[in-house]
Structure 1
Amino acid sequence: MHNPDDLIRLFNACFASSENTQLIRGDDEPIYLPADEQTPYHRVVFAHGYFSSALHECAHWLIAGEARRRCIDYGYWYVPDGRTAVQQAQFQQVEVKPQAMEWILSEAAGFRFHFSVDNLNGESTDSESFQLAVQQQVLQYQTLGLSIRAERFRQALRVFYG
């Protein structure tokens, strides 16, 4: 069974001290919140207690550079479900790397990865080319290697889920 509480413990064991960042179960939409006056640590908030959402939000954090990690939601724009074809194409372009990282993390955790176009009520776009781009990015990560943070978390998942 894949319990998001296990992911929280693993992520926080890896990064709460070294990166001042914690993975947190949220009630609504996922969001990244840098430390502020009220909360002295950075928060990777995932949606509705879903394991897949937690993995996806971890993936976003793992690929975000230091400057992006100082911004709310890494400084990205987000248009909710119901995007036009143009908006969806832009969304898919910025989702290639996070979904590739999520796939790698899912594999390490023995969890089935699902592509997500996250636009059920919007205009359809070419999901095959998006999936191919994600697959190619996975191969690139495997060839060039992961960042230190990403590799640390992947190894923690592998050890825990064996």
Structure 2
Amino acid sequence: MHHIDDLITIFDQLFSTQYNTRLVKGDDEPIYIPANASCGYHQVVFAHGFYASALHEIAHWLVAGTKRRTLEDYGYWYCPDGRDKAKQLEFENVEVKPQAIEWALSVAAGFDFNVSVDNLNGEQTCRFRFQRRVHEQVIALLEGGFNTRTEQLLHVLSDFYKTPWPLSQAQFSWHCPKELLDAV
């Protein structure tokens, strides 16, 4: 049902002409590469052909403003897996909005969403606390509105996958064990 080639086609049809940007299946780590001497278009490169990776990388592109889209990886720092608690909290602060948008893209595409703390070999933080922050952000975006590019893609995904439109808060439920939710 969720074929990566469909997502690539949808993204490219929406954004390749106006933004000179294409979605590219990568072999390794995801990265955003602005147009340069060796490639005349911007590339949103996602990992290993994974649909979830593509949605996540698209979300970062949707968050990035015009200036950031001229910088490799949007000019952000990335501290790899193995972060201590302080670095992990920094990482989560940067990831809240992109993951909220990824969640909205997932719902529009009828695809399961899972937050990613991306720190398997580092100090663990509360995944449920982070998910609650992402949930709060997606609700704020639903209430306040998404940017134009995000709104366009959400609508096309919803149409393509025949999911309810417009998106509603009821579509963004998540489950946390009560004892953990009380602690969060």
Q: In the aligned structure 1, how far is the partner of 2:14 from the partner of 2:155?
A: 10
Give the RMSD, CA atoms, in angstroms.
0.7
- Is 1:143 the counterpart of 2:117? The answer is no
Query: Residue in 2 aligned with 1:32?
Result: 32
Amino acid in the other structure paired with 1:121: N
Q: For each residue in 1:42-71, what CA deviation from the matched residue of structure 2 results, as whole angstroms up to 9, or x when unmatched? A: 000000100000000000000110111011
Q: In the aligned structure 1, how far is the partner of 2:10 from the partner of 2:156?
A: 7
1:1-162 to structure 2, matched below 5 A, reads 1-162=1-162
Q: For each residue in 1:101-154, what CA deviation from the matched residue of structure 2 results, as whole angstroms up to 9, or x when unmatched? A: 000000000001001001111111122221111011001110011111001111
Amino acid in the other structure paired with 1:89: L
Q: For each residue in 1:11-58, what CA deviation from the matched residue of structure 2 results, as whole angstroms up to 9, or x when unmatched? A: 000000011000000000000000011111100000010000000000
Structure 2 stretches of 5 or more lacking a match? 163-184
Q: In the aligned structure 1, how far is the partner of 2:3 from the partner of 2:84?
A: 35
Q: For each residue in 1:52-97, what CA deviation from the matched residue of structure 2 results, as whole angstroms up to 9, or x when unmatched? A: 0000000000011011101100001111111111111110000000
Q: In the aligned structure 2, how far is the partner of 1:90 from the partner of 1:147?
A: 24
Amino acid in the other structure paired with 1:129: R
SS in structure 1 opposite 2:32? Answer: strand
- Report how far residue 5 of structure 1 moved: 1.0
Count of aligned pairs: 162
Identical counterparts, % of pairs: 55
Amino acid in the other structure paired with 1:20: N
Q: In the aligned structure 2, how far is the partner of 1:60 from the partner of 1:87?
A: 19
Please, what TM-score do these two structures have when normalized by structure 1?
0.98
Rg (Cα) greater in structure: 2
Q: In the aligned structure 2, how far is the partner of 1:4 from the partner of 1:99?
A: 19
Q: Relative contact order (alpha carbons < 8 A, sep ≥ 6): 1 or 2 greater?
A: 1
